[in-house]
Amino acid sequence: MSKTVEIQIEKSLNLIDGLRKHLKGIGGGVTNEEICAMDQAVKELVSVNKEVDRLREELTPKVKQMNDVMARVKEAYAEKKKTLKGYYPQERWMDYGVPDKR
């Protein structure tokens, strides 16, 4: 759970508890229905946040795998480009998809 979400959930739950304890003393500014709606929204936030955490757990290894493959591709690209530039004059580089200019 991200710290920001965790803090907001904690603050909201504390507010809800306080509002419920002192509903009659608020003076009509907050209704029980509004407190219930806020409580429901906090419960939804907790649920959605759990789903996000689960997805992050699945995503993290995939991102690492992608980064590893990307590093290999970039290395191979740089190596092949360097080889082509060494063997062919600049005018022929575009034939091989190398748009670089010296």
In this predicted structure, what is the pLDDT of residue 92?
Answer: 87
32-87 and 3-21 helices, crossing angle to 10° = 180
CA angle (33 as vertex; 28, 29 as ends), nearest 5: 20
Average pLDDT in the chain: 91
Please determine, for residue 25, whether its predicted confidence score (pLDDT) is greater than 90: no
Owner of token pair 């995503």: 59
Q: Which of 38, 33, 31 is nearest to 16 (CA)?
A: 38
Task: Compute the residue count for the chain.
Answer: 102
Give just the sign of the alpha carbon dihedral 27, 18, 1, 47. negative
Tens digit of pLDDT for each residue in 38-56? Answer: 999 999 999 999 999 999 9
pLDDT band at 1 (very low <50, low <70, confident <90, very high): confident
In this predicted structure, what is the pLDDT of residue 98?
Answer: 87
In this predicted structure, what is the pLDDT of residue 76?
Answer: 97
Secondary structure class of 80 (helix, strand, coil): helix
Rounded CA gap, 49 and 9, in Å?
10
